[in-house]
Structures are given as structure tokens and as C-alpha cells.
Amino acid sequence: MKSHHAPRAVTDAPRAVTDAPRAVTDAPRAVTDAPCPGRRGHSAGVVLIMCMIMSAPLGLPGCVASDAPDAPGEVIAAESFLADIARAVAGPELAVKGLLPPGIDPHAFQPRPRDVARLSKARLLLVAGHGYEAWLEPLRGSLAGVEIIGAFGPVEGAGEDPHFWMDPRNVESALGTIVDALASVKPQARERFSANAAAYAGRLIDLDASIRARVASIPAARRKLLTNHDALSRYADAYGLSIAGTVLEGSGDGAEASPRALARLIATTAKGGAWAIFLDAGEKASLARSIGRETGLKVVTDLYVEGLSAASGPAPNYLAMLAHDTEVIVNALR
């Protein structure tokens, strides 16, 4: 399975779906100065909780970060949250470049030739792994000389929720792999990397404790999440929430929520007693409204799971992303 849910454009500005003008999603993006082609027309139908929202109004595959010098020997981290984590470990000792800028949905990312050229000259490419980077597989032949490391496990994989970072303890477990990967590039800085990782681990432990405390404030009967695909199971398992239902089950290459899927969601909702659904911020406000009307659920749109927000947004780094998502979830369910 290449991708476990529908690729889709994402938007930058978290907003209340019911009220925000559609124009928000078309606002110019500050993240990159690279001109992006028009918005991709795959706005997935009902996209619930997860893969949310990240960011760029012009969330298009193939738009590469503007801070991407085409230099050989780069250390590149695929997703924005992963680059942030890797930078915390690297410190000033080693530059870690991002590949996907905030707002690009990793599931929908399609590298352009210039991206492939850049990657093929990299020294190290850090990915989340477990098959999350479906775009990587067809490139393997071009990246023969690049060390590719999965932070959370094997690079390839399928069939399980690959969003391991949604549990900060999994990030803590990944720090050793990241230290080793960076040290393979700059062995003399290994001690520094290890010290940085230890400091960051402390912050992850604090984050984990604060998420636990916040989720505990949700009445037990309401600790249920409706998801569009299997993206929050790590978070749910870690913090005692359950997944009440999914709209797009299993792999959904190109899948969009159909009336049938919506009907299934409504049935699931009635059965599961969920309280809120979380829509992709790129979704049409009218559809979000109609889903909210039909299901009677609270509609929430500003969860960040696949990447960070813009620097000025609510999830400019990994720690802030998880803290923000927790507030969104707690406020929606409490």
C-alpha cells in the first residue's frame, strides 16, 4: 500500500471551518518564495481527524523549501517535524535541511526532478519510515549513494499507522537512531549530539506528562476520535483515547470521501458516540458545514499531524505541534 489515505492539499491557516472564508486557503504563502503551481484539485472529500492540516494554502506536491541550496553532501530530513527534531539533536554542530516545507502533505508529495537531483547529492536523508514516504520508493534507484535512515523504524513498510511521532515517547526512542545517523556524518560531534538528545528527551518527557494530564481532563465517555484514516492511533493508544471510526479505511490511494463514506461515518458516529470530527482545513466550508449538520458533531479543523505550521502559526516546532493538537482535541471533546 503506497499511501494509507487520500492525498490532498492542505492549508496554512487553521480556522473555524464553519465561518472562515474560503479565501483563506488561497492566501499567499509566506513559507517559501518558490512559485507553486495551482492548487491541486484533489481536495479529499471528508477528511477527518488526522492527516490534518498542516499548512500551506497552496499545499502542493513538489513545492520545495526555498531554503534548499543545491549543495552536495547535505543532511536532509524529509518532513518539517522531523527536521525540527533532528535540528534539536544536531544543534549548531551540523546543518539539517528540510525537504518538505510546512504545508506540504507528505502523503501527496511528488518530488520534481530538481528535488530528485538535490536528494541524489545528499549525504544523509532522514525519513520517518514505515512506508510513510511513499514518494521515496520510486526514487530508490536514483538515491543509491545516499544514506537513508528511518527515524522510527525501517524505511519501507505498510499496513500500520506510520504516524509514530504522535506519541512523544516514540520520538524519545528515535533519538538514538538520529544521533547515530548524524554522527555518521560528523563523528567528532557525537558527544554533542548525545548531550543535545538527552536534553531534548527531557522536554519530550515533560510534553508526554502534560498531554497525559490534559487528556485526563476529558470526561472518559468522550475520549473518542473520529479519523479519516489511521493517523492518530499512536496518540490514542498513548493517552487512553479510542478511535470511534474512520471514513477512509485502510489504504486509500486517491480515495475521497463519497456519500457512502459519509453515510458510514454518520452510522459510526451514532454507534460510537463520538463528539467531534476533525476536518482537513483545506476542505470546503460548505461540506464541513453539511457534515456537521448531518452528524450533529462539532467540526474541528486545526489539527497538525503531518507537518508543522508556518513559523507564525500554532505549531512551529514539534513540541508545540503536539501541545497544540492536544489543546484542540481537549477543547473539542471536553
3-state secondary structure of 231: coil
Max Cα–Cα distance, the chain, nearest Å? 60
Q: Interface with Zn ion includes 53 (CB under 5 A)?
A: no
Compute the least distance from the CB of residue 69 to Zn ion, in Å. 29
Q: Interface with Zn ion includes 51 (CB under 5 A)?
A: yes
CB 281 within 8 A of CB 14: yes
The residue (of 148 and 231) whose beta carbon lies closer to Zn ion is 231
Compute the least distance from the CB of residue 54 to Zn ion, in Å. 10
Q: How far apart are CA 236 and CA 299, in angstroms?
A: 19
Q: Interface with Zn ion includes 328 (CB under 5 A)?
A: no
* Closest residue to Zn ion: CB criterion: 51
The residue (of 101 and 131) whose beta carbon lies closer to Zn ion is 131
The residue (of 231 and 319) whose beta carbon lies closer to Zn ion is 231
The residue (of 231 and 291) whose beta carbon lies closer to Zn ion is 231
* Full DSSP string of 60-99: -TT---TT----TT-EEESSHHHHHHHHHHHGGGS-EEES
Single out the residue of 231, 297, 319, 333 in contact with Zn ion (rule: CB under 5 A).
Answer: 231
CB 165 within 8 A of CB 231: no
Identify which range of 9-17, 214-222, 223-231, 233-241 contacts Zn ion by CB under 5 A: 223-231
The number of residues that bind Zn ion (CB under 5 A) is 2
Compute the least distance from the CB of residue 28 to Zn ion, in Å. 26
The residue (of 8 and 223) whose beta carbon lies closer to Zn ion is 8
* Full DSSP string of 2-55: --SS------SS---TTTS-GGGGGSPPSS--S--PSPPS---SS--SSS----
Residues that bind Zn ion (CB under 5 A): 51, 231
